[in-house]
Structure 1
Amino acid sequence: MIPVINLADVEFDDIEENGRYTSRRAMFSARIGARQLGYNLTELPPGKAQCPFHNHHAEEEMFLVLEGEGELRFGTERYPLRPMDVVACPTGGPEVAHQIVNTGTGVMRYLALSTLAPVELCEYPDSGKIGTWSQTGARGVFRTRDLAGYYDGEET
């Protein structure tokens, strides 16, 4: 393991082509020995986003725009993005929900850094979903309208 990598040498190993959500990500945390932080280089084509508008309850994220122009949707606000902008996305509720969209004419590239929690809960305010993930591989995405009460199905 070598704790250094040049972003020009990373391999894009997470490629998504799903309409508006089209991106390429190079996930290189393990390659450089990271244990509690996740690192990736993301490329977005014009008009695309890497993921839906969401907020985290366990993992904090930071983004550094390297190339291109975009827009950060953050809570109820929108902010223009350009190279060398640093974005902080703390944990919390819909007031810190976020999404980066490439609003430029060329590829947008940014470095993403996040804490890695053993269990994560994300909310998706636009679609009324909740997503859960664990480092052991358990995962699920649910619509909040389908959630049951705490004692539903239990003998009381």
Structure 2
Amino acid sequence: MTETQAPIVNPATLELEHWREGTFFESRDASFGALLGLRNLGVGYGEVPPGKSGCPFHNHHVEEELFVILSGEGEYRFGPDRHAVKAGDVLGAPAGGPETAHALINTGAVPLKYLSISANAATEICEYPDSGKFLAKTRDASGKPRFRFIGRPASDVDYWDGEPGI
């Protein structure tokens, strides 16, 4: 952020990235915490089309997330439960195990628009209960990724595997 730039962003002015994966996942979204000068708080805006989800069902071990539904309606899959959501609802996703896994699904007829706010941890582990995957990632002090790995526990190795002298 430059010294003359105000720490204000209107999501309507953001350049949104449109992406699609398979038949169920699709969104137009943008991350904009950095535009506000934030380093330790992630902020995003998303628009999910009817019948789609913007991310797989997952839980974080470090980061907490908060979602604010701006317009549309959907279903908040949280742990073993599903909750109807609408404009004005605020959703929490605490860090934890599969009991805090979450995903938003658009069950309405118009795009589901929401803000996502999260801790921007330097290191994170995520689990994906539906697919049995996990994600491990870390970044350096400047925010550049240092390590990112997606796998399944079945691919683990012994602690000493590959070490010199073993």
Q: TM-score, normalised by structure 1?
A: 0.93
Structure 2 stretches of 5 or more lacking a match? none
1:9 aligned to which of 13, 18, 22: 13
Alignment correspondent of 1:149: 158
**Which 4+ stretches in 1 moved above 3 angstroms?**
151-156
Alignment correspondent of 2:129: 125
Which structure would you say has the larger Rg? 2
Q: Is contact 1:129-1:144 (8 Å) kept? A: yes
- Summarize deviations over 1:72-112 as a string: whole Å, max 9, x none: 11111110010000000010000000010001111000000
| SS in structure 1 at match of 2:159 | coil
In structure 1, what is the Cα distance between the partners aligned to 2:153 and 2:47?
31
Structure 1 residue 27 corresponds to structure 2 residue 36: no
Alignment correspondent of 2:42: 38
- Counterpart residue identity of residue 27, structure 1: S
Alignment correspondent of 1:55: 59
- CA drift at 1:36: 0.8
Structure 1 stretches of 5 or more lacking a match? none
- CA drift at 1:153: 4.3
1:139 aligned to which of 148, 156, 163: 148
Q: Percent identity?
A: 46
- CA drift at 1:152: 3.9
| Coordinate RMSD, CA, aligned | 1.4
Q: Is contact 1:128-1:145 (8 Å) kept? A: no
2:115 aligned to which of 108, 111, 114: 111
| SS in structure 2 at match of 1:150 | coil
Structure 1 residue 84 corresponds to structure 2 residue 93: no
| SS in structure 2 at match of 1:31 | helix
Q: Is contact 1:44-1:108 (8 Å) kept? A: yes
| SS in structure 2 at match of 1:38 | strand
In structure 2, what is the Cα distance between the partners aligned to 1:16 and 1:139?
21
- Counterpart residue identity of residue 158, structure 2: G
In structure 2, what is the Cα distance between the partners aligned to 1:84 and 1:152?
51
- Summarize deviations over 1:13-43 as a string: whole Å, max 9, x none: x332112111111211111111110111100
In structure 2, what is the Cα distance between the partners aligned to 1:3 and 1:121?
30
Q: TM-score, normalised by structure 2?
A: 0.88
Q: Is contact 1:4-1:32 (8 Å) kept? A: yes
